[in-house]
Amino acid sequence: MQEIITNYDNLKEEDVTEVVKRVKILLINSRKEILLGYSYHEYQFPGGHVEEGEDLVDTVNREITEETGMVLNLKDLKPFAKAVGYYKDWPEVGKNRKIEIYYYEVVTDEKINLDNTNYTDSEKEGDFELRYIPLAKVEEELENNASLYGDKKEIAKEMLSLFKIYKSN
């Protein structure tokens, strides 16, 4: 598993006051397309926070259902990459957050079931939608979208970096 570490403030583990774990999923179908979320003019991999009592694979299953309506009940998944970020004074002064994001590939031809989704208020406000993008055009689509709307949260940069790791595996 390839690991990417971001630590602009040179925080040490003992400086960390909070650890947040997340998962992100590259959902690929047999037509060589990837399913991406799109809201607020930004693409994103489906995924989200690990909740208390969940392991990473439980979170993958829950997030896939919440965002796509698919019920997959996956078992023995291993992440292909992990991104670790250290953030000083975030989300507020005096708190130093470490965010661990585990990236998974899931290959499925299961159909999207919008009646079975559970979007957050933010996703609803941003007109969240799902889009299949051909794998051969993902990088071009992310770059074009970022140049058109900007990359304020650097989500496109992160996605492009992880997509390159995915392709190299």
Hey, what amino acid is at 38?
Answer: Y
pLDDT score at 36 = 98
**Other CB atoms closer than 10 Å to residue 49's CB: what's the count?**
13
CATH code: domain of residue 66: 3.90.79.10
pLDDT score at 153 = 83
Instruction: Name the residue range of residue 82's domain.
Output: 2-168
**CA 40 to chain centroid:** 15
Hey, what amino acid is at 134?
Answer: P
Q: Which of 146, 51, 118, 120 is nearest to 163 (CA)?
A: 146
Q: Which of 104, 45, 50, 49 is nearest to 72 (CA)?
A: 104
Average pLDDT, 10 consecutive residues per value, the chain (169 residues): 94 97 98 97 96 96 97 96 96 95 98 94 93 97 95 90 92
Domain count, the chain: 1
pLDDT score at 78 = 97
Write down the number of H helices and E strands in the chain: 4, 8
Cβ–Cβ under 8 Å, residues 159 and 45? yes
